[in-house]
């Protein structure tokens, strides 16, 4: 559990079915919003051709991952397509203590765990424009990374299950236009930051205005 009541920084979760573009959206959000920092997930899967250890993910063995579970080092973790993914408590606390909001690119399993243990969380679910577009993107991605086409079939078979969790999120945005999708999410984040409960200096400001 993350306790950071004083600063009121937010845990911001972006989820979607595989291929809906959440990773690209997250990268753009980080470029455009200086108050955001990424949560870098630990994973047991192999790096893709365009991924760098320590930047995109922290790649470790299944044995090391299980040790971290036993030691209670994860804020959340999940098994996704036969690989494990998790968020370290220590790295999340470091980002919050530096005065930034934390951006999570995780699935519904991790989101459920975060939501159970933290009140200061904003969850956003990205919908794809249509199912055919998802399949096209997945095939392109797996071809670029020289992976077996069976992985596409496996991901497509779980598409409806992933999609069914959209009702568990605070906001839902459709990624039929990338720039519009990013803009909508930035507006959501901005509005959430302006909530009274998240502006820690409001009481002192109000006192000054009423003197």
In contact, 128 and 17? CB cutoff 8 Å:
yes
Helix (H, G, I), strand (E, B) or coil at 123: strand
- Quickly state the pLDDT bin for 2 (edges 50, 70, 90): low
- For residue 30, the model assigns a pLDDT of 97
pLDDT band at 161 (very low <50, low <70, confident <90, very high): confident
Could you write out the three-class secondary structure of 135-152?
HHHHHHHHHHCCCCCHHH
pLDDT score at 124: 98
> How many other CB atoms sit within 10 Å of the CB of residue 204?
9
Mean predicted confidence (pLDDT) in 33-44: 96
Q: What is the pLDDT of residues 94-148, one digit of tens each?
A: 999 999 999 999 989 899 999 987 778 999 999 988 877 776 766 666 665 555 5
In the prediction, which pLDDT does 210 show? 79
**Residue range 182-203: mean pLDDT, rounded:** 86
Cβ atoms of 79 and 158 closer than 8 Å:
no
What is the pLDDT of the chain when averaged over all its residues? 85
Rounded to whole angstroms, the Cα distance separating 52 from 107 reads 21
pTM: 0.79
pLDDT tens sequence across 44-89 = 999 988 889 988 899 999 999 999 999 999 999 988 878 999 999 9
| Of residues 93, 91, 86, the one with CA closest to residue 60 | 86
**Residue 4 clears pLDDT 50, i.e. is over it:** no
**Structure-model confidence comparison of residues 10 and 4, the more confident one:** 10
Q: Is 168 helix (H, G, I), strand (E, B) or coil?
A: helix
What does the block give as tokens for 38? Answer: 């990424």
Q: CA-based angle 42:46:48, to the nearest 5?
A: 105
* Residues pairing with 174 in the sheet: 127
Pair of tokens at residue 144: 């670029």
pLDDT tens-digit profile of 15-31? 998 778 888 999 999 99
**pLDDT at residue number 191:** 95
Q: Do residues 210 and 202 touch, judged by C-beta distance below 8 A? A: no
Rounded-to-integer distance, Cα 159 and Cα 30, Å: 27
Distance CA 111, CA 77 (A): 9
Percent over 90 (pLDDT), the chain: 54
Q: What was the pLDDT predicted at 6?
A: 44
Euclidean distance between CA atoms 47 and 20, whole angstroms: 20
Burial 156-185, CB ≥16 within 10 A → b, else e? beebeebbebeeebeeebebeeeeebbebb
């Amino acid at each position: 559990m993350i306790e950071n009541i004083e600063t009121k920084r937010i845990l911001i979760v972006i989820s979607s079915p595989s291929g809906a573009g959440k990773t690209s959206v997250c990268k753009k959000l980080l470029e455009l919003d200086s108050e955001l920092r990424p949560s870098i997930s630990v994973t047991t899967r192999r790096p893709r051709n365009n991924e760098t250890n320590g930047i995109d993910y922290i790649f470790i063995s299944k044995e090391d991952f299980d040790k971290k579970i036993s030691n209670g080092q994860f804020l959340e973790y999940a098994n996704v397509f036969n690989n494990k993914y998790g968020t370290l408590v220590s790295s999340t606390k470091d980002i919050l203590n530096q005065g930034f909001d934390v951006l999570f690119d995780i699935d519904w399993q991790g989101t459920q765990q975060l939501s159970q243990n933290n009140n200061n969380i904003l969850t956003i679910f990205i919908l794809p424009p249509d199912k055919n577009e998802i399949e096209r993107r997945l095939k392109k991605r797996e071809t670029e990374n020289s992976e077996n086409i069976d992985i596409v079939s496996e991901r497509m078979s779980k598409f409806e299950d992933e999609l069914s969790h959209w009702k568990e999120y605070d906001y839902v945005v459709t990624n039929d236009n990338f720039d519009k999708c990013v803009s909508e999410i930035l507006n959501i984040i901005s509005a959430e930051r302006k909530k009274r409960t998240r502006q820690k200096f409001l009481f002192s400001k109000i006192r000054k205005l009423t003197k």
